[in-house]
């Protein structure tokens, strides 16, 4: 069984769309969104995957979600069948933090032998070998101080070293203010993170906010040799599930 997020009550968040962020932006893919996270970003745009009633971790929206309506479990053959029905060549596994369910994901990928696999992760969980061998790309998004997560939970030194030395791993840092880039630079120096595999992405869930922040973020990317990541899905569909 896998624990998934929902698009609507009773409907798992498995869908086809264009990848909106990172090195695969614009590519047609199938998405699988899992539920649960070990971190709690105050600006998280998918709080319905973890901020359930009774969870006192802060989120700027203040809303908590009914677990029964926003989380469901499915047998692996059912998940695989729904993914294959989308007729895509690439699968993006996201969350929440998908590597919390790494063992079951490895079993799922046995049922999807011909798909390229991309995993989006906060970088705090080391994937087991039997999953790792099936992954073509990791989108690693370490959470900076403005996320509200304690550094000892969100920025684990040996894990940052692990991802920096994996050529399949691309770093994506969410930037809310220009000074956040200084934190990225410090992490880059400490862990030898390659600038060529580093994206800076403006924080925001609407096009005007993203456009405003990208105006000052683009020159910083140019100055430091980083890449600028869009959020195409926000521009195309807004801040909605299943997109």
Q: What is the pLDDT of residues 71-105, one digit of tens each?
A: 999 999 999 999 999 999 999 999 999 999 999 99
DSSP E strands in 68-203: the ranges are: 71-74, 90-94, 116-121, 137-140, 169-175, 198-202
Q: What 3-state DSSP class applies to 5?
A: strand
Per-residue model confidence (pLDDT) at position 118: 98
76-79 own/partner pairs: CB under 8 Å, 24+ apart:
76/1, 76/2, 76/104, 76/107, 76/108, 76/111, 77/111, 79/2, 79/4, 79/12, 79/14, 79/32, 79/108
Per-residue model confidence (pLDDT) at position 97: 98
Contact partners, residue 70, CB within 8 Å, separation at least 6: 5, 6, 9, 35, 48, 49, 52
The structural domains of the chain, with segments of one domain joined by +, span 2-174
Each residue's pLDDT tens digit in the chain (243 positions)? 999 999 988 899 999 999 999 999 999 999 999 999 999 999 999 999 999 999 999 999 989 999 999 999 999 999 999 999 999 999 999 999 999 999 999 999 999 999 999 999 999 999 999 999 999 999 999 999 999 999 999 999 999 999 999 999 999 999 999 999 999 999 999 999 999 999 999 999 999 999 999 999 999 999 999 999 999 999 999 999 999
Q: What is the pLDDT of residues 139-174, one digit of tens each?
A: 999 999 999 999 999 999 999 999 999 999 999 999
Q: CA of 151: how far to CAs of 52, 74, 162, 203, in Å? A: 23, 34, 17, 19
Distance CA 80, CA 77 (A): 5
Per-residue model confidence (pLDDT) at position 142: 98
Per-residue model confidence (pLDDT) at position 9: 86
Per-residue model confidence (pLDDT) at position 12: 98
Q: Tell me the sheet residues that pair with 71.
A: 5
Block residue for tokens 């059912």: 78
Q: Which of 92, 64, 21, 57 is nearest to 234 (CA)?
A: 21
CA neighbours closer than 13 Å in the CB half-sphere of residue 235: 13
Q: Are strands 14-18 and 2-8 parallel, antiparallel or unpaired?
A: unpaired
CATH architecture of the region 2-174: Alpha-Beta Barrel (3.20)
Is the separation of the CB atoms in 111 and 80 below 8 Å?
yes
Block residue for tokens 């105006």: 215
Per-residue model confidence (pLDDT) at position 135: 98
Is the separation of the CB atoms in 36 and 96 below 8 Å?
yes
């Amino acid at each position: 069984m896998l624990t998934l997020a929902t698009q609507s009550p009773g409907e798992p968040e498995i869908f086809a769309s264009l990848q909106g962020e990172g090195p695969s932006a614009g590519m047609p893919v199938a998405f699988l969104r899992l539920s649960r996270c070990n971190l709690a970003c105050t600006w998280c745009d998918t709080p319905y995957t973890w901020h359930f009633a009774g969870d006192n971790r802060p989120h700027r929206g203040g809303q908590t979600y009914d677990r029964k309506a926003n989380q469901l479990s499915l047998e692996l053959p059912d998940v695989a069948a729904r993914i294959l029905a989308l007729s895509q060549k690439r699968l993006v596994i996201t969350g929440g933090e998908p590597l919390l369910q790494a063992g079951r994901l490895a079993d799922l990928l046995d049922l999807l032998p011909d798909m390229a696999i991309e995993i989006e992760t906060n970088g705090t969980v080391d994937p087991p070998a039997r999953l790792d061998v099936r992954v073509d790309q990791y989108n690693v998004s370490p959470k900076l101080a403005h996320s509200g997560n304690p550094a000892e939970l969100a920025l684990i030194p040996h894990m940052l070293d692990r991802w920096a030395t994996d050529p399949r791993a691309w770093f994506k840092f969410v930037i809310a203010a220009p000074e956040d880039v200084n934190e990225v630079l410090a992490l880059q120096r400490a862990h030898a993170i390659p600038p060529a595999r580093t994206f800076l992405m403006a924080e925001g869930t609407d096009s005007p906010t993203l456009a405003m922040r990208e105006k000052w973020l683009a020159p910083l990317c140019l100055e430091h040799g980083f890449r600028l990541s869009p959020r195409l899905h926000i521009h195309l569909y807004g801040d909605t599930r299943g997109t």
